[in-house]
Amino acid sequence: MSIVENAIYRNGRKVESPRSLENTYDLLQRTLDRPAESENGEDTVLAWIGLYRPSAEEIDSLAQHFDLHELAVEDTVQAHQRPKMERYGRTLFTVIRPAVYQDETETVEIGEIHIFTGPNFVITIRHSESSGVSRVRKRVEADPELLCFGPDGVLYALLDQIVDDYFPVLSGLENDIDEIEDALFAGESTVSQRIYELAREINEFHRGVAPLSNVMQRYFAGFTKYGTHEELQHRLRDVLDHVIAVSGKLESMRSSLTDAMSLDSTLTTARQNEAAMVQNEQMKKISSWAAILFAPSIVGSIYGMNFKDMPELDWAFGYPMALVLMVLVGVVLYVVFKVKDWL
């Protein structure tokens, strides 16, 4: 079984811990059939089923018992959904993308949680290792008021926890951007790859956060129709403020990385130009010395041609004249190249 945690709550207190889905259905019905325990007649009964990558048979069982819409069930089976809230009758289907910053690899791990909330039930289906659901369960069990809000209270707690978990991720990404800025001016060779990797992570994180703002605003539009408690409305609006803050910060990071890419390109071009200039200066020196040495070689090669009719061969000053000519040509070329700053 893929059940991670499973419990039935009544008026903010855990009353049952079923071991299977069938046991959950039975105990939930028995709890609903019991008379209300509160004096004013208010009675909140809630089954919270937590699953991790359930099988198709388990999802079918949940769908049949709680009358889950087939389209929502199909999305749950396929996974890889964008953040959204879709209402099917009395059931609300919510998809949230939690995020965790991995310090060891300096990467962001994006997860996925599907949440079904109905009149007396909450079903959380995790498609990733890290989600924060267990921490939310401990939180609501320690705060009976949230459980007394019913499924909406649990949904709020899940949204609040996941959005709060975004801020440590932002801190980790900010540190990465600071390191990239230092690496840019240090001229590290791997900085370009790190910029593009970080940009990809931030874009993926942004895709998991940005839609949540519009999704929650549409959810707020149904507060009156579905009788959401006023205190819960205030808390949910606070979550929306945090979502907007996270989205704004991610937009700023994307802008910073765009600037870093431009700066990296500029610095890379400048370093290439500098290297080309150094190489050009070296080529000038090599070419200058080659020319200086080539001139005496021409004179020597001419005198090395053993033709019979060469008047210089019988001239007494031919040899010293050839040496002087070689040295003179070399000196003249050296002076010319020195004046042109080639040497």
The pLDDT score that the predictor gives to residue 307 is 59
Distance CA 75, CA 340 (A): 75
Greatest mean pLDDT among 140-149, 156-165, 189-198, 217-226 lies in 156-165
CB 46 within 8 A of CB 120: yes
Q: Read off the pLDDT of each residue in 305-310 and give the average, rounded to a whole number.
A: 63
Query: Where does residue 115 fall: left (phi above 0), alpha (psi -120 to 50 degrees), or beta otherwise?
Result: beta
Q: With residue 15 as reference, give the H or E element that holds it.
A: strand 13-16
Q: Give the type of residue at 260.
A: A
The CATH code of domain 276-340 reads 1.20.58.340
Listed residue (189, 67, 16) closest to 8, CA to CA: 16
pLDDT band at 133 (very low <50, low <70, confident <90, very high): confident
What are the residue boundaries of the structural domains of the chain, listed by start? 3-267, 276-340
> In 3D, which of 264, 284, 119 has the Cα closest to residue 187?
264
- Is the pLDDT at 318 greater than 80? The verdict is no
DSSP 264-320: HHHHHHHHHHHHHHHHHHHHHHHHHHHHHHHHHHHHHHHHTS--S--GGGG-TTHHH
Six-digit token pair at 261?
A: 């890419």
Side chain identity, residue 55: S
Beta bridge partners of 126: 52, 113
The pLDDT tens digits for 206-253 are 999 999 999 999 888 888 888 888 898 999 999 999 999 999 999 999
Cα distance between residue 221 and residue 227, in whole Å: 11
Each residue's pLDDT tens digit, 45-63:
999 999 998 888 999 999 9
- DSSP 8-state symbol, 82: -
Summary mean pLDDT of the chain: 86
Stated pTM of the model: 0.77
Name the superfamily (CATH) of residues 3-267: CorA soluble domain-like (3.30.460.20)
Residues near 159 by beta carbon (within 8 Å), at least 6 away in sequence = 96, 216, 236, 239
Do 3-267 and 276-340 come out as alike in CATH topology? no
Sheet holding 121-126, edge to edge: 13-16, 3-10, 45-52, 121-126, 113-117, 91-96, 84-88
**pLDDT tens column, 172-210:** 999 999 888 888 877 777 888 888 889 899 999 999 999
